[in-house]
Chain A
Amino acid sequence: MVKIKSPEDLASLTAKLQKEKNTEEICITVCMGPGCLTCGSQKVLESLKEEIKKRDLQEKVQIKETGCHGFCQKGPILLIKPAGIFYQQVIKRDIPEIITETIINNRIVERLLYVDPILNSKIIKEKDVPFYKSQYRLVFGDNSLIDPHKIDDYISLGGYSALAKALFEMTPVQVMEEIKNSGLRGRGGGGFHTGRKWESCRNAPSPDGVRYVICNADEGDPGAFMDRGLLEGNPHRVIEGMIIGAYAISSNEGYAYVRNEYPLAVANLNIALELAREYGLLGKDIMGSGFDFDILVVQGGGAFVCGESTALMASIEGKRGEPRPKHIHTSERGLWNKPTALNNVETWANVPIIIKKGAEWFSQIGTERSKGTKIFSLVGKINNTGLVEVPMGISLRDIVYKIGGGIPDGKKFKAIQTGGPSGGCLPEELLDLPVDFDELTKVGSMMGSGGMIVMDENTCMVDIAKYFLKFLRDESCGKCVPCREGLKRMVQIIEDITEGKGEPGHLELLEELTQTVKEASLCGLGKTAPNPVLSTIRYFRDEYEAHIMDKKCPALVCKNLIEYSIDELLCTGCGSCKRACPVMAISGEKLYPHTLDMEKCIKCGICLEKCPFDAIKIS
């Protein structure tokens, strides 16, 4: 590889790559994102390679392995270019047919097309799929064009030109001002103004001139995987953003703290860093500008609290990941007590776009105080699960119904949870709320890092609150009393409620406790921990009361408050349930209605699943 020694070198390399790219050549893109991988895209890829080789098509057809495209529900996904044909739920067996029909004979394999659930029509092109149509894929869109292991793919799309612009046409202060003017706010949860953070970091005194930049890829929010999608699919964009940021605050050392559960992200990022170094885009004298900067990848140890800035820094320093008081901001005194600019993966990925297209262009997207787009991981009881990127200001309803395709099985929508364990559950009435940092905070939830979990009528809100509380209790570092002891007690109270031992004063005690935990905890984990409870009490109080007063779980979830029984009219006496029951609570003769012994029943629900006639009822 030749080193890139000037912006002209980069420009000519980009031009060369673009020219080489044969737009006529057929390219089959296979999504290797986490969702598709779990449904077997590895096997699809292998057989695709085999088949191409067998038919001697290597010259004509190119295969590209990319990161997540977003539409995980329909994985494994194949995209055939230049026609832009979109095949979904492809399995190994489909491959020969795809090659014969589509590649050789130029015909479409109808069976593999996406079917619009409302119009019931088949859709051929990716861009016409409703899931993609309502999105604005500013940051995420390139994922389907890039093989994360190939830096040339990124450069041919104009990658690293923002870096060249920053290094050669702008001063660090100008870069910082540009980010400030764009109105970019942190995508990691808090929504802090990125430009302002950089400014305070730049202006903070550091006697030896050492400053750090950190990329927060800890993504501990259960049910969220956008940072993973970005880092695995398009690592160079994040790296480019970090270099620009480092230039703006004049730092020479960067860290990327990646969650322990994401080994592939670590691997891809390390490969990408190595390639960038080989090109001279990272390391000493970047692009001949005289600016030095390098990035080290640090693997986390599996602790949610390490997403918090001070805990993350303690973890990088090799200590227990315990937060410390932040009376002085980490931008002034962070890693090893030096000024540190810490930003989320998605925040960094936005930086090159802003520098390239300008603050003014960027600030036209979004709302008054929230600019740009946001990636959400749309999961739960929704038809189209996956990663979606939307402009700020879009309503939650549009995300759920237009992009998400509504609730499966004709069930009723109940709540949408944003912000992960620190956020809240919003009811149907608030669905028209725009996606905006301040609007979401106002109603007791928050933007968070991007988890968006949809719940239907079969979800018990008390159970959800319990789930988050238990999660936080186990993930709290345990340093300060309100969080450690408070959460423990909150879990106990809410467990009592779901077990039918709730008492009238419990809700008030819970509310009093949340107040202390919220106000007196040391770090953001404790300060936001009560949100799931507070928001569910606020919007679904009747459900709590049903548990406490009537000892009933309206959604039929809480085990101690439900009973299984067999509907005699529906039971055909087939005996499936009897064989499956682990405690032999079901008895009856073949072909006669069976009976269920409540004394023995452990409410595991297996009979419900096994009964072919829906004769098992819950009440």
Chain B
Amino acid sequence: MPFKSTDENITGGKDFPDLYYEEDNLVSLTIDRQKVRVEKGMTILEAARWMGIKIPTLCYHEGLTPWGGCRLCVVEVIKRGRSKLEASCTYPVAEGIQVKTNSEKVQKTRRMIVELLISSCPNSRTLQDLASGMGITEIRFKMEDNDCILCGLCVRMCKEQMMSGGIGFINRGAKREVSTPFHKSSEICRGCGACMYICPVVTLQCRGRREPGDLCNACINVCPTDFGF
């Protein structure tokens, strides 16, 4: 029977090649119906990206400790028959789990997260692009005009890569912000600009023509192939 419509057939029935060959250090799992064996200690995100599967992220960066705050990278993890949404950037691969990186539930959740973020921070090009790519055409919440999505990249960049610690999170809940102590310029800040470099809001301001505070959606027509998710 050449075209059995089983799970294997859809992906060609072939397992993905192993990442490393140190046998006792491998974990096997299934990501989007493909069996794969990867090194223990990797996260699902790393494994998926290595396989070429795209998972959008905001608060993740290769050079920094994973934080798991934005929840954009959620995937469905099925473990012992129970399915749960988990942040792939922090979830370590585990023997026998099944992962769905793009199921309907995942997409729906990601769309809601982007909608939530963009309604409070509409000037970010990164967010506008994500919104276009996901086909979000309407924001149902009251528009605000903040300029930080609290992804914490700058805080970790400053501490982990620049070995400083000039900025940090202050307050909690809806009042949380990134700031220097006492909102004054920090004594230990060297002005290296790494925080600005890594920020998904400040560096990439959306340039599309639009009223401030709206969804842009301009790029949808400009660059139709560029959106992977």
Contact = CB atoms under 8 A, between A and B. Distances in A.
Interface of A: 303, 305, 320, 324-325, 327-328, 473-482, 484-489, 492, 505, 509, 512-513, 515-516, 519-522
Contacts of B174: 473-474, 476, 478, 484, 487-488
A473 B173 contact: yes
A290 to B, nearest CB: 38
A488 B120 CA distance: 10
B125 interface: no
Given A303-B172, A327-B90, A520-B109, A480 B142 contact: no
A522 B69 contact: yes
Nearest to B66: A325
A478 B173 contact: yes
A172 to B, nearest CB: 29
Contacts of B74: 519-520
Contacts of B142: 492
Contact of B117 (A478, A481, A509, A515): A481
Contact of A484 (B67, B87, B150): B150
A489 B92 CA distance: 31
Interface string B140-184: 111000000110000000000000000001011111100000000
A478 B141 CA distance: 19
Contact of B92 (A328, A485, A513, A520): A328
Contacts of B112: 482, 486, 512-513, 515-516, 520
B86 interface: yes
B59 to A, nearest CB: 9
Contacts of A327: 86, 90-92
B71 interface: yes
Interface of B: 67-72, 74, 84-87, 90-92, 105, 108-109, 112-113, 116-117, 119-120, 140-142, 149-150, 169, 171-176
Nearest to A472: B173
A516 B113 contact: yes
Contacts of A303: 172
B109 A519 contact: yes
B173 A480 contact: no
B29 to A, nearest CB: 14
Given A327-B86, A522-B87, 17 more contacts: A303-B172, A320-B169, A328-B92, A475-B172, A478-B172, A478-B174, A478-B176, A479-B69, A480-B71, A482-B116, A505-B140, A515-B112, A516-B108, A516-B112, A516-B116, A519-B105, A522-B69
Given A327-B86, A481-B71, A520-B85, A486 B116 contact: yes
Q: List the 4 closest pairs (A to B, CB-CB), nearest first.
A: A478-B176, A485-B116, A516-B112, A325-B90
Given A481-B116, A484-B150, A520-B113, A476 B85 contact: no
Contacts of A519: 74, 84-85, 105, 109
16 contacts: A324-B68, A325-B68, A474-B173, A475-B173, A477-B173, A481-B71, A482-B71, A489-B141, A509-B140, A513-B112, A515-B112, A519-B74, A519-B85, A520-B85, A520-B112, A522-B71
A478 to B, nearest CB: 4
A328 B43 CA distance: 13
Given A473-B174, A489-B141, A519-B85, A480 B68 contact: yes
A261 B117 CA distance: 35
Nearest to B71: A520
A482 B87 contact: no
Contact of A478 (B70, B85, B90, B150): B150
Nearest to A479: B69
Nearest to B114: A481
Contacts of B67: 479
A475 B67 CA distance: 20
Contacts of A516: 108-109, 112-113, 116
Contacts of A515: 108-109, 112
Nearest to B58: A481
A497 B119 CA distance: 20
B176 A484 contact: yes
A521 B68 CA distance: 10
Contact of A481 (B69, B84, B140): B69
B26 to A, nearest CB: 19
A481 B149 CA distance: 8
A310 to B, nearest CB: 11
B97 to A, nearest CB: 11
A439 to B, nearest CB: 20
A479 B174 CA distance: 10
A505 B142 CA distance: 14
A482 B117 CA distance: 9
Nearest to A474: B173
Nearest to A477: B172
Contacts of B169: 320
Contacts of B120: 485
A440 to B, nearest CB: 20
A474 B172 CA distance: 8
Of B117, B120, B141, B175, the most chain A CB neighbours within 10 A belong to B141
Contacts of A509: 140
B172 A480 contact: no
A476 B74 CA distance: 20
A499 to B, nearest CB: 13
Contacts of B117: 481, 485
A487 B176 CA distance: 14
A619 B120 CA distance: 37
A248 to B, nearest CB: 27
A325 B87 contact: yes
B67 to A, nearest CB: 8
B176 A481 contact: no
A480 B112 CA distance: 13
Contacts of B70: 480-481
A536 to B, nearest CB: 21
A325 B65 CA distance: 13
A475 B68 CA distance: 19
A481 B120 CA distance: 11
Contacts of B105: 519
B105 to A, nearest CB: 8
Contacts of A478: 150, 171-176
A474 B86 CA distance: 24
Contacts of B149: 481
Contacts of A325: 68, 87, 90-91
A477 B171 CA distance: 8
Contacts of B68: 324-325, 480, 522
A302 to B, nearest CB: 11
Contact of A489 (B71, B85, B116): B116
A477 B174 CA distance: 8
A289 B90 CA distance: 43
A322 to B, nearest CB: 8
A480 B69 contact: yes
Contacts of B113: 481-482, 516, 520
